[in-house]
A and B are shown apart, each in its own frame.
Chain A
Amino acid sequence: MNFSTKNRFKDYCGGLILCGLGTAAALQAQSYHLGTLNRMGPGFVPMALGILLAGVGLVLLAATALRREEAAPSGLPALPGAAEEGHHGPDWRGWGCICAGVIAFAVLAEHAGLIPATLGCVAITAMGDRENTWRDAILLAIGIAIMAVAVFWWGLGVLMPLVKGIY
């Protein structure tokens, strides 16, 4: 894909998402009392914003469709300094691990306590990086867990059991 068609594709996607979100919000807002401009009900502002968002989406779609091919590339030159290195293309492993890491924290914090939540979150997230081995991930997790206990549990007194049932 060359530069301009790629950006065109992005803008179509963006426009469609905005239209969808805006329409959904406006539809949902219909179930609230709308009122009038000088006696607004709780649904007035969400409805107006939903329509506005969908409208902006439509304008974006139209502008993209009318934009001529030779238009300036809308991507920015990379920022000075650190250029992006390493992996290119979709990175499902990294994305999956970061999301799973956050979910692991939430689930383990609720059911198992601070230490398991920290270990799980850090180890899983760390595995998202292709250069990290299981050994690295676990060592990092243990290090962070020790520090988490010291800072949050002991220093700040966060009210979360260290390990549920034992602590």
Chain B
Amino acid sequence: MIRQAFRRALLGAGLATAALLALPAAAQQAGQQAGQPAYPSRSITIVVPFAAGGPTDTVTRLVAEVMGRDLGQPVVVENVGGAGGTLGAARVAQARPDGYTLLLHHIGMGTTPALYRRLAYDPVGGFETIGLVTEVPMTVIARKDIAANSLAELVALVRRDQTKINYANAGIGAASHLCGLLLQKAIDAPMTTVPYRGTGPAMTDLIGGTVDVMCDQTTNTTQQIRAGSVKVFAVTTPQRLPALPEVPTAAEAGLPGFEVTVWHGLYAPKGTPAEITTRLSRALQAALRDEKLVARFADLGTAPVAQERATPEAHRAFWQADIAKWRPVIQAAGQYAD
């Protein structure tokens, strides 16, 4: 692998020079085997509908590498970002259902049907499920000098001051936006929502004390929590997290039912044969058992889902339930992303 990395980088570079100087450059390439061998016979592409470097991209790249080993073919990641993930999803929904173009998408698959009124593809019927991958927990955090020391005190503060409290999010449809909707519904009091373009600027203003409250994935918040640059009130999962053992769950802190995770699932275009999705599901399960992957996920503050959830059936059931959960919340807020 290392040798390959070096070879690619160096040759890519060398060839670029040659090319730019218009010198003849000969390329030698391995021929692909012809015929119709068993699936998979060539490399598989997983489309990530977000820019490279984001949390979904990170999860996908980790999973893709290990899945490739099980499948015996490279699994490459293609970032098709834009329009809240709908561009990449549309590309996969319209791809040939041969198992060579897959989609790894997050909670957005559950909220898109309610958030978008005009889509060029069927956000539910356009896909076959392969399996769930991971659920990233979320944390309720606030600027470090806020006048509350527990979730109960924060709830009391919001109920008293209502729209005087500023809730930051990373834009419409972002996990922090969804979590904010659910939080306001759970405590039954409105806050002033201040949208940002992405998590980075929102987090900067939260640490700087410009905004008051935020709720985001552990991937983005763990470091800030550990460094004490923000105050943490609760995690949004049924159990406490190994990475943040001292933080209570929302239920323990007095908000039962306030549960939300950023879940990721793997999809294929509608009409992909069942034997292919089963094969992919098997590869996914194998990947999620991989020790190194589990360790990397733990670094991100998350864990792979249980093996029985990484199946097409469990994934579909979970997805349907999530769509049903978000539709009323989003419609009550009257917010659309288009």
Residues of A within 8 A of B (CB): 143, 146-151, 154-157, 159, 167
Kindly state whether residue B16 has any CB partner on chain A within 8 Å: yes
Q: A146 contacts which chain B residues (CB < 8 A)?
A: 24-27
How many angstroms between the C-alpha atoms of A167 and B31 in the bound complex? 9
Can you sample 16 A-B contacts with CB below 8 Å?
A: A146-B24, A147-B19, A148-B19, A150-B15, A150-B18, A150-B19, A150-B25, A151-B15, A151-B19, A151-B25, A154-B11, A154-B12, A154-B15, A155-B16, A157-B8, A167-B32
Q: Chain A contacts of B27 at CB under 8 A?
A: 146, 149-150, 154
Q: A147-B25, A151-B12, A157-B8 are known contacts; what are 20 more A-B pairs with Cβ within 8 Å?
A: A143-B24, A146-B25, A146-B26, A147-B15, A147-B18, A147-B19, A149-B27, A149-B29, A150-B15, A150-B18, A150-B26, A151-B19, A154-B29, A155-B8, A155-B12, A155-B13, A155-B15, A155-B16, A157-B76, A159-B76
Question: Closest residue of chain A to B26, judged by CB?
Answer: A146
A147 to B24, CA, bound (A): 8
Q: How far does the alpha carbon of A104 sit from the alpha carbon of B131 in the complex, in Å?
A: 40
- A167 surroundings in chain B (CB, below 8 A): 32
Tell me which of B12, B19, B78 contacts A159 (CB under 8 A).
Answer: B78
Interface residues of B in 10-54 (CB under 8 A from A): 11-13, 15-16, 18-19, 22, 24-27, 29, 32, 45
Q: Smallest distance from the beta carbon of B207 to chain A beta carbons, Å?
A: 27
Name B residues whose Cβ lies closer than 8 Å to a Cβ of A: 8, 11-13, 15-16, 18-19, 22, 24-27, 29, 32, 45, 76, 78
How many Å lie between the Cα of A68 and that of B18 in the bound state? Answer: 55
A161 and B107 alpha carbons, distance in the complex (Å): 31
Distance in angstroms between the alpha carbons of A143 and B25 in the assembled complex? 8
A24 to chain B: closest CB distance in Å? Answer: 22
The reply to whether B26 and A159 form a contact with Cβ atoms under 8 Å apart is no
The 10 closest A-B pairs by CB, nearest first: A155-B12, A147-B19, A150-B27, A150-B15, A159-B78, A151-B15, A150-B25, A147-B25, A155-B15, A151-B19
Least CB distance from B338 to A in Å reads: 12
Is B26 in contact with A143, judged by CB distance below 8 angstroms?
Answer: no
> What distance in Å separates the Cβ of A6 from its nearest Cβ neighbour in chain B?
38
Smallest Cβ-Cβ distance to A166: which chain B residue: B32
Select B16's contact among A149, A151, A157, beta carbons within 8 Å. Answer: A151
What are the residues of chain A within 8 A of B32 when measuring CB–CB? 167
Shortest Cβ distance from B34 into A: residue: A166
Q: Is the CB of B45 within 8 A of A159?
A: yes
Q: How far is the CA of A147 from the CA of B272 in the complex (A)?
A: 36
Which residues of A lie under 8 Å from residue B26 when comparing CB positions?
146, 150
Contacts of B19 in A (CB 8 A): 147-148, 150-151
CB distance from A125 to the nearest CB of B (A): 15
**Cα-based distance from A154 to B24 in the complex (angstroms):** 16
How long is the Cα–Cα vector from A151 to B14 in the complex, in angstroms? Answer: 9
CB distance from A47 to the nearest CB of B (A): 20
Residue of A nearest to B23 (CB): A147
B-side contacts of A157, CB under 8 Å: 8, 76
Nearest-neighbour CB distance to chain B for A137, whole angstroms, equals 15
Please, how many angstroms separate the alpha-carbon atoms of A84 and B42 in the complex?
52
Chain B residues, Cβ within 8 Å of A148: 19
Contacts of A147 in B (CB 8 A): 15, 18-19, 25
Which residues of chain A are near B16, meaning CB under 8 Å?
A: 151, 155
A43–B76 Cα gap in the complex (Å)?
41
**CB nearest neighbor in A for B10:** A155
